[in-house]
Amino acid sequence: MPNTICLAAELAASPSDIFDTYLDPRAHAAVTGAPATVAPRAGAEFSAFDKALRGRILHVEPKRLIVQSWRASQWKSGELDSTLILTLHSIGRAKTRIELVQVNVPDHDFAGVSQGWERYYWAPWREYLKTSRVSRGTRAKPRRG
């Protein structure tokens, strides 16, 4: 039976910068350390971690909301795609609270996906923001390396 994940994280950048970084393939890859394909428009295909994750952008509200279809490569062909909803809230000067809801996560990958958000996104993003121009109030620029 599919499950729902509800998480939240705080990042030291504005909602605008978080939105732009997540939806820019070079910046997304700089944060995660893995290849990504993404664009800030409904209908755009999405992949991350060298296509271990894939889906499509279903809806965006600039600087506030990202909705994606989402699935991991190890999910069985008969399993539903997950729907991921990322909502961005300003919580002070250059700080964002991301609220995440992900529905239809298969039982066999629930723990992996739940823990993966912290391990593969929130923790690397915090590290990225410590040294990026985003944390100093300028536009996201992927690090070279």
pLDDT at 139 (0 to 100): 47
E-strand spans in the chain?
A: 3-11, 36-37, 45-48, 53-61, 65-72, 82-90, 96-105
Per-residue model confidence as pLDDT tens for the chain (145 residues)? 789 999 999 999 999 999 999 999 999 999 999 999 999 999 999 999 999 999 999 999 999 999 999 999 999 999 999 999 999 999 988 899 999 999 999 999 999 999 999 999 999 999 999 988 655 454 444 444 4
Report the predicted TM-score, pTM, of the whole model to 2 decimal places: 0.88
Rounded-to-integer distance, Cα 56 and Cα 46, Å: 5
**Domains of the chain and any CATH numbers:** 3-135 (3.30.530.20)
**Cα separation of 58 and 80, whole Å?**
15
**Residue 28 and residue 143 in contact, taking contact as beta carbons nearer than 8 Å:** no
Asked if residue 46 lies in contact with residue 35, where contact means CB atoms within 8 angstroms, the answer is no
Q: Each residue of 90-102: pLDDT tens digit?
A: 998 889 999 999 9
